[in-house]
A and B are shown apart, each in its own frame.
Chain A
Amino acid sequence: MDMDLLRFTTAGSVDDGKSTLIGRLMYDTKSIFEDQIDAIEESSKNRGDEHVNLALLTDGLKAEREQGITIDVAYRYFATPKRKFIIADTPGHIQYTRNMVTGASTANLAIILIDARKGVIEQTKRHSFIASLLQIKHVIVCINKMDLVDYSEEVFENIKNEYLGFDAKLEIPDIRFIPISALHGDNVVDRSKNMDWYQGPSLLWTLENVQIASDRNFIDSRMPVQWVIRPQSDKYHDFRGFAGTINGGVFRKGEEVVVLPSGFTSKIKSIETMNGQLNEAYAPMSIALTLEDEIDISRGDMIAKPNNQPKSSQDIEIMVCWLNTNALKLGSKYTVKHTTNEAKCIIKDVRYKVNVNTLEKIEGVDGLEVNDIGRIQIKTAKPLFYDPYMKNRNTGSVILIDEFTNETVGAGMII
């Protein structure tokens, strides 16, 4: 019953067999049920499709089925005895960069699909760049449709080398290449008999065995205060629990902590859960801390260790992916949401925009359009307590919210 959890995202362009691959993984791990298969067989027939269209399994919305495209991130689940998997299935269309950023934001791993007949294309580069930008530590490049290139080792090696030539610009520590045929199942769950020259493991084996525990930050202890628990009961009359989810590091009973912005220090009196007190708590546990001293703490405050504190600033440099058709403009104001804290902010500078296909910087721009990625500087109305995104995804990420429409318009990674 004690499995571990891996979240991954899948990226690919139109028709490179992404839905088929997901369908295959789910089907072969018995995560698709008979009535779902019956339903898509029926729909495929009604649509006049030649084969059972596994894409219908992932395209959940009417508009998606009508247009035969994936509009929105869909989440899929499967499990093996070893791991539970959450797939963020993101559409590959050009206009949907924001969906991949969304899916990648919570992923431990990304699968990038390449059509063996087409090789590395613009979208491959874009998806890899986004994976790198979002600090996904593990990328599996699946070279798909090997059956259509006679399972050729040469084709595989050429694509791999082409990719490696480009990936020098990326910051992905672990990249693996697997030749597959999602349609026929080669190297998806079991090693393929059609590609003796490939000595590596199958995709599923890789997903089950990738080491992700060390990707988490166990050094910088951070807990943003989410809610203060004050029971209105005689038994817990003096109880003041600072509830939150550990965003990094470890907190132990008796340890000294500092609370920001006040800077007051105290010691951890207890770590509380409904199932009993704990001696230590670490990311991503949700707990409540009680402290030895009565100090003023409220939502949005950050609890850390006195000798290891997050940065504190009102001038913050951010790589931002713009998510909304209302463009980002120099000088405009937004609400920035960071951990459990939020503040008004103004766009002080647009440093540059990134050409997501070549990774070149385009300077001299004063705004960002939807699906643009660029570096900006914001000034916040009060200090944020943060870490660089590279060190901690939770204390290093922000979203920007439009003050008039209330929409989430920007996804930012603090530099």
Chain B
Amino acid sequence: MSSLNLSHLDQLESEAIFIFREVAAQFEKPVILFSGGKDSITMVHLARKAFWPAKVPFPLLHIDTGHNFPEALEFRDNLAEKYGVTLDIGLVQDSIDKGTAREEKGLNPSRNSLQSITLLEKLEEGGYDAAFGGGRRDEEKARAKERFFSHRDDFGQWDPKNQRPELWNLYNGKKAVGESFRIFPISNWTEMDVWQYIKKEKIDLPSIYFSHKRSVVNRGGVWIAESPYNTLLEKESYEERVIRYRTLGCMTITGAIESSASTLDDIIEEVAAARQTERGNRADDKRSEAAMEDRKKQGYF
């Protein structure tokens, strides 16, 4: 019976499709959180597979910090159009203008923590009761404890010490009015799995994942791109480097790696040899040991 075997990628795909369908059935108004990164692009692909030949029955929601890579925004708009998915955008700037969020002080403010505020506002405004995220358990130690169906109270908060047990493939999405869920269909994927799957399924990605020349500044061992949102410190200067990105976030905090990997095969080889985690270049995670846990408790993904 060994011919009836599924590879690890097939099994992970099947698990994710199951989750998408389960959410469609258990919730009133789900939404896919879309960052423009490879994980959320992979999620859109999986959602399409789950409901094919019907369209994806959820809109995409992008929380736009205003500090995004232009390449990622262009890719986002094209993708939504190509697959006929509604795109809802929440601007962090709107929350700042309204006074519900306050810009960080300092030279190179990150809007990362402000995302949670805009996200919660948009979820409430849209009446969304389940939001898919591309978080993976291998990314970060607090995420290793996440459920597929992650319950949030009516303030959008995560209570990691009191999570619902998740057994077999039985997912409990029951909730009281005002409460909501975060859903992580690719919980069990690793960075390598995502890249291998992207290659297997021939999924398109924004160009910045591949090697290119860019003007960057070295800040604490991390290459930060030149952008209008970044201010040079004394003695710092931009230089041209051949780089690529392993993750996508705000331009102000997402570090590039020096790399000549220009194809998926090159990237897979590079990921296999990597000695640093992919979020290792994310200044937002480096703020404290529990930075991610704290942000998640407040409603972040």
> Is B108 engaged at the interface, CB distance under 8 Å to the other chain?
no
Contact A231 B176 (CB under 8 A): no
> Is B233 engaged at the interface, CB distance under 8 Å to the other chain?
no
Instruction: Give A140 to B8 CA distance when docked, in angstroms.
Output: 22
Contact B5 A394 (CB under 8 A): no
Contact B25 A75 (CB under 8 A): no
Contact A105 B167 (CB under 8 A): yes
Contact A401 B172 (CB under 8 A): yes
A-B contacts, CB under 8 A, total: 192
> Is A120 engaged at the interface, CB distance under 8 Å to the other chain?
no
Contact B7 A245 (CB under 8 A): no
Contact A213 B5 (CB under 8 A): yes
Main secondary structure of the interface of A (DSSP, over half): mixed
Contact A60 B25 (CB under 8 A): no
Which residue of the partner chain A has the closest CB to B192? A79
> Is B160 engaged at the interface, CB distance under 8 Å to the other chain?
yes
Which residue of the partner chain B has the closest CB to A288? B52
Which residue of the partner chain A has the closest CB to B290? A62
Which residue of the partner chain A has the closest CB to B187? A75
User: Which chain A residues border B49 with CB–CB below 8 Å?
Assistant: 273-275
Contact A102 B167 (CB under 8 A): yes
Which residue of the partner chain B has the closest CB to A89? B144
- Segment of A34-42, A156-164, A259-267 in the binding face: A34-42
Q: How many residues of A contact B (CB 8 A)?
A: 80
CB distance from B260 to the nearest CB of A (A): 21
Q: Mark A240-270, 1 if CB is under 8 A from B, else 0.
A: 0101110000100000000000000000000
Contact B1 A213 (CB under 8 A): yes
CB < 8 Å neighbour of B8 from A4, A57, A286: A4
Q: Mark B68-94, 1 if CB is under 8 A from A, else 0.
A: 000000000000000000000000000
21 residue pairs of the A-B complex, CB under 8 angstroms, read A5-B12, A33-B276, A60-B293, A75-B144, A105-B168, A106-B169, A214-B1, A227-B24, A232-B55, A243-B21, A274-B49, A274-B52, A285-B10, A286-B14, A335-B174, A340-B22, A397-B168, A397-B170, A399-B168, A407-B164, A407-B172
- Give 6 A-B pairs besides A3-B8, A35-B280, A230-B54 with Cβ atoms closer than 8 angstroms: A33-B276, A61-B142, A63-B160, A102-B165, A227-B25, A233-B54
**Measuring CB to CB, which residues of chain B are less than 8 angstroms from any residue of chain A?**
1-2, 4-15, 17-18, 21-22, 24-25, 48-55, 137-138, 140-145, 160-161, 163-170, 172, 174-176, 187-188, 190, 192-193, 196, 199-200, 274-277, 280, 289-290, 293
